[in-house]
Structure 1
């Protein structure tokens, strides 16, 4: 009977040991989840280990008693029963503690589930935060890039502003210089205005003086013309009084040449221009004077005048008029003897290299063979040669078919 009880006790102890191991395992699992429950389980475990030690000590003592032939069985049985009762009480406490552990486990599980849910929510929130953080990082990069662009733009604007400031300073200096220059120009303009007024007054005085001089000059030309006409009349009277034909002819030629000089002064007196004469009118007037003074019937001779509309200066006109008068007079007197009919062509125009050309051509009897103007004994041709030289001119004579005299000379066309 005692052995059976020992076996039962051993089985009971084994069962309690197994339960203790299970509780220890549960304790370890629960201890991993919550520190508070782990501390409680640890205390319970220490209490169970103390009870097991007590039970083992009791078992050893019981074995000792059995070895002593189970002395005092009643006492041992009573003690054993007390021990069993204590073990039952311990088992009951252990069941309660196990139930408490299950409840604590369920609470821990529930709390862990809540924690898992919160962790999942936190994980989602963290992912959203990470995504938002990534977006913010991208936005910050964009902002950094934009800030860098703004910095560059700012530096560019600063540089442009500095350039503008420099340009404004330069413009300010230039404006000041311009203002100073404008002030100087205003002063200069005032001086010029005063000078212009003085010049205008001087111009008016000079104009009045010029008009007076022109009037005086016209009066001089008029008086010279009158004096020359008086001389011409005196020569005409003298020629009529001469009984010698050669003397009378010489006086008439002299009268003709004086009329040429008088004609230039008459043209200047009648013209508004006191420095030049109209070549066409001048040549026509000399031709008419030459015909009048020649006392030759020239109705059978036709005169063609082709003179350009040009003005020539006084000095050139006087010399040119004398040359034309001599040539034209020779044509009338010698080209058409015995009242032969014919024509005389007079040409005066501009020539090459700024020179002028005077050409007198007739279709009369022509010149004697071997005629040379430089060897001519007549005064008229000598005058033509000398006056041509005076004009720095060149003379060309052709007497093969009629007579053609061409003179080119330096002349001022006005």
Structure 2
């Protein structure tokens, strides 16, 4: 403990301590008169000691410090709790302007006296609150822009879906009207591909515009829809999907969806010319960090036995290969008497998925 030879020495030290505090700081007596103020208080609020020390705090600045929130803090909160941190006051301070201050207050009670002292520190958070409000406003504006974007995206998807349906209907009508069987078949193939694009678009639309799509759910839903629309009762074909857990970007999902649609359609049309009890088309998708492998296999007749029919799928193969190139992947086709397997790979790794053939 420091022993002072006289009272003035103690006051000198106390004032030095107060002046060292970087935030505006004042010391009040139990009647709320200013006993001392820091140099930063005088600088911040542009007042001088002559018009501050010994004055009632509410009378500072010709009464402009008579702030209701400050009265609540000093006269109600501090007597009950002895301390308060982060008490926010927004006020038009004299000579300074409108400021937002955080007040920290402490009540000091002395053992040998019934009097008390209140320590009051100010922290200017005006700029911080302004930034927070700007961020909040920016967030609201961003949310509104995203909402508008979603509305426009939904409208665009709706228009695309309607346009595809119209194109598909026109192609089907033309196919029924032409006399040439070859032309009719080409129109039907074009109709089927337009419907495939519409199916991929419909499943992506069901993901609510999410940029990352869960691959297992996406391919399962897509293949389930293809199976229900193409597989007849006379030739039941099981279409199964097996995938690793993971997500893909919506742009990749479009290409993969079109590839899977084309390969599954071709397998349904050409792999099982004769009824077979265990007819199976298996779609697998494997993930190895940034790499992936998509495989569509069947246990049908393979390309050797179905080569004549397979020649009619030249356009489909060209579409698939173009999409594979777009994905920077590799295309591989293996066919035999026990079926066909087509793999799209953007990696080199050993497959752990089963195959239909």
Please give the range of the TM-score, normalised by the shorter of the 2 chains: 0.5 to 0.7
Contact 1:302 1:343 (C-alpha < 8 Å) held by counterparts: yes
Secondary structure of 1:340's match?
coil
1:292-311 counterparts in 2 under 5 A?
Answer: 299-308=235-244, 310-311=246-247
CA distance in 2, matches of 1:222, 1:277: 20
TM-score under structure 1 length normalisation:
0.49
Secondary structure of 2:134's match?
helix
Contact 2:267 2:281 (C-alpha < 8 Å) held by counterparts: yes
CA distance in 1, matches of 2:234, 2:246: 28
Question: Which residue of structure 2 aligns with residue 235 of structure 1?
Answer: 171
Is residue 330 of structure 2 the alignment partner of residue 380 of structure 1?
Answer: no
Q: 1:188 to 1:397 in 2, by over 3 A?
A: farther
Greater share of residues in strand: 2
Cα-to-partner distance string for 1:32-79 (whole Å, 9 max, x where unaligned) = xxxxxxxxxxxxxxxxxxxxxxxxxxxxxxxxxxxxxxxxxxxxxxxx
Q: 1:359 to 1:353 in 2, by over 3 A?
A: same
Q: 1:345 aligns with which of 255, 258, 282?
A: 282
CA distance in 2, matches of 1:310, 1:346: 16
Q: 2:207 aligns with which of 228, 249, 271?
A: 271
Greater share of residues in helix: 1
Q: Which has the larger radius of gyration?
A: 1
TM-score under structure 2 length normalisation:
0.56
Question: Which residue of structure 2 aligns with residue 393 of structure 1?
Answer: 329
Secondary structure of 1:367's match?
helix
Contact 1:217 1:274 (C-alpha < 8 Å) held by counterparts: no
Question: Which residue of structure 1 aligns with residue 195 of structure 2?
Answer: 259
CA distance in 1, matches of 2:331, 2:284: 14
Cα-to-partner distance string for 1:86-129 (whole Å, 9 max, x where unaligned) = xxxxxxxxxxxxxxxxxxxxxxxxxxxxxxxxxxxxxxxxxxxx
Contact 1:218 1:274 (C-alpha < 8 Å) held by counterparts: no
Contact 1:306 1:347 (C-alpha < 8 Å) held by counterparts: yes
CA distance in 2, matches of 1:276, 1:255: 29
Question: Which residue of structure 1 aligns with residue 145 of structure 2?
Answer: 209
Cα-to-partner distance string for 1:255-294 (whole Å, 9 max, x where unaligned) = 2222232223323433334434443443344435545665
RMSD (Å), alpha carbons: 3.8
Structure 1 residues without counterparts, runs of 5 or longer: 1-156, 158-167
Question: Which residue of structure 1 aligns with residue 291 of structure 2?
Answer: 355
